């Protein structure tokens, strides 16, 4: 039985603090797996730790890692006929504390930051902060995540006034990191506490955020002062509504190359990293969309230029995120001012444009498959909860129904 071990720096995933996890690699019959030690280091720190004569703190790390490796060698020696499955069962019982949830949060956040998915990064950051407030110990391990732990955590958040929506978001982050921890550890013995007949993440019933035909007509018929901020952000709201519920980030990042003839083709930035082989969303440019573009688009022949004057190419990801937030804030501010003026007493926001698009299309008996395609949803169930192959003339006819007040 030729089983070998080695202490390695796992450089596949860099943590948010610029370090890499240190792992014990076990190799058997040319197949290897890496097992977490709960320690992370930079490349320089790892070299100093594993060098010929480590000193100070690096000597302490060296001794700790050699001790962990020795434990693994001992476990291997106790197995008559080695297999990773048998080894993992024994290793899991002795070394369960090495699989750190907090560490894997840092891994996930590091990946999101490198992909410039800063909105999602912040969601995980706040989720981790909440978890550390609930569990103030130095670390949290995979075996700590039980049905009881999750229930206690949910009740703790409720007692502090968290909404079910926020609780659901934080727990989905935890579930994602839990699954990543199990995957990274390559241990198969864990039984997930999430799922049916176990702990179920709260899923509050969606509050309908769509406007009636009458309310849409009131907003549309309102005449703001030409060139005013009120007109600008009212137009942005209706641009979202008419462009298949396009969200504000996608509006800000819209480029001239997305406009091809009488169509706008774009991918939702929110889902572009999660849905493989996704089709671009196809928006038919009707007269009102064209009028909004004429009023506010920045004239430019460069296909890579941004259509609206919000984003510039010299902005980094953080500046883009801040700009999108500001445009969203201003759109919400002015659409609510207009709503108040025309007698609509609802907290209208940019989300309402997307919901209203789907709801209005349902009224003339447009199929949910078409709406799913136009919204860019992955499945029909998503469309039905929230709420191609179609000819251009049919798309244009359906698009024009959005203004049939």
> What integer pLDDT is reported at residue 267 of this predicted model?
86
| Domain 213-403 indexed as CATH 3.40.50.970 | no
**What is the end-to-end Cα distance of the chain in Å, rounded?**
78
Least confident of 89-98, 208-217, 248-257: 89-98
> What integer pLDDT is reported at residue 115 of this predicted model?
77
Whether the per-residue pLDDT at 388 is higher than 70: the answer is no
Whole-angstrom CA distances from 76 to 28, 166, 387 are: 11, 45, 54
Give the separation between CA 371 and CA 383, rounded to whole angstroms. 7
Of all helices (H) and strands (E), which one includes residue 119? helix 118-134
> What integer pLDDT is reported at residue 387 of this predicted model?
37
Compute the average pLDDT of residues 106-111: 83
Task: For the chain, give the mean pLDDT.
Answer: 83
Per-residue pLDDT band at 361 (split at 50, 70, 90): low
What percentage of the chain has pLDDT greater than the value 90? Answer: 46
Whether the per-residue pLDDT at 96 is higher than 70: the answer is no
CA angle 125, 144, 87 (to 5 degrees): 110
Sheet (strand 263-266) strand order: 259-260, 263-266, 281-284
Whole-angstrom CA distances from 112 to 19, 311, 334 are: 15, 21, 32
Whether the per-residue pLDDT at 296 is higher than 50: the answer is yes
Give the separation between CA 355 and CA 362, rounded to whole angstroms. 11
Q: Residue 315: CB partners within 8 Å, gap ≥ 6?
A: 323
Q: Enter the pTM of the model.
A: 0.61
> What integer pLDDT is reported at residue 207 of this predicted model?
61
Per-residue pLDDT band at 44 (split at 50, 70, 90): very high
Whole-angstrom CA distances from 283 to 150, 200, 243, 251, 394 are: 43, 37, 6, 12, 12
- Name the more confident of 44 and 38: 44
Q: Residue 334: CB partners within 8 Å, gap ≥ 6?
A: 229, 230, 232, 233, 234, 237
Compute the average pLDDT of residues 109-123: 85
> What integer pLDDT is reported at residue 140 of this predicted model?
86
Residue 296 phi/psi, 5-degree rounding, is -125, -15
What percentage of the chain has pLDDT greater than the value 70? Answer: 81
> What integer pLDDT is reported at residue 340 of this predicted model?
96
Question: Do 76 and 6 meet the contact criterion of CB atoms below 8 Å apart?
Answer: no
Compute the average pLDDT of residues 181-206: 75
> What integer pLDDT is reported at residue 383 of this predicted model?
41
Whether the per-residue pLDDT at 257 is higher than 60: the answer is yes
Least confident of 6-20, 182-196, 355-369: 355-369
Best CA proximity match to 185, nearest among 112, 100, 94: 100
């Amino acid at each position: 039985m030729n089983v070998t071990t080695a202490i390695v720096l796992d450089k596949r995933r860099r943590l948010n603090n610029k370090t890499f996890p240190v792992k014990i690699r076990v190799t058997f019959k040319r197949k290897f797996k890496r097992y977490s030690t709960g320690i992370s280091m930079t490349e320089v720190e790892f070299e100093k730790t594993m060098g010929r004569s480590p000193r100070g703190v690096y000597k302490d790390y060296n001794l700790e890692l050699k001790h962990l490796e020795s434990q693994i060698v001992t476990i291997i020696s106790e197995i008559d006929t080695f297999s990773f499955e048998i080894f993992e069962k024994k290793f899991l019982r002795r070394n369960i504390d090495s699989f750190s949830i907090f560490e894997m949060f840092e891994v996930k956040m590091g990946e999101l930051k490198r992909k410039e998915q800063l909105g999602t990064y912040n969601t995980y950051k706040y989720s981790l902060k909440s978890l550390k407030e609930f569990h103030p110990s130095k670390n949290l391990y995979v075996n700590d995540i039980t049905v009881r732990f999750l229930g206690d955590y949910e009740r703790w958040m409720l007692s502090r006034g968290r909404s079910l929506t926020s609780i659901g978001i934080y727990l989905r982050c935890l579930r994602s990191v839990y699954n990543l921890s199990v995957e990274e550890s390559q241990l198969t013995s864990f039984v997930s506490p999430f799922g049916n007949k176990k702990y179920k993440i709260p899923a509050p019933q969606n509050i309908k955020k769509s406007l009636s035909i009458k309310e849409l007509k009131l907003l549309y018929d309102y005449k703001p002062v030409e060139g005013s901020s009120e007109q600008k952000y009212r137009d942005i709201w209706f641009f979202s509504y008419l462009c298949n519920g396009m969200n504000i980030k996608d509006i800000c990042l819209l480029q001239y190359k997305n406009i091809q003839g009488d169509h706008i083709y774009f991918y939702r930035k929110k889902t572009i990293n999660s849905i493989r082989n996704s089709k671009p969303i196809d928006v038919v440019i009707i007269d009102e969309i064209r009028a909004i573009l004429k009023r506010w688009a920045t004239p430019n022949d460069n296909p890579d230029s941004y259509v609206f004057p919000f984003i510039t190419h010299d902005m980094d990801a953080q500046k883009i995120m801040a700009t999108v937030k500001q445009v969203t804030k201003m759109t919400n501010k002015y659409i609510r001012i207009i709503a108040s003026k025309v007698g609509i007493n609802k907290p209208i926001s940019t989300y309402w444009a997307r919901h209203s698009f789907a709801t209005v299309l349902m009224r003339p008996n447009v199929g949910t498959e078409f709406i799913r395609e136009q919204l860019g949803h992955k499945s029909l169930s998503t469309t039905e909860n929230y709420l191609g192959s179609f000819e251009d003339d049919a798309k244009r006819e359906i698009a024009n129904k959005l203004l049939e007040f």
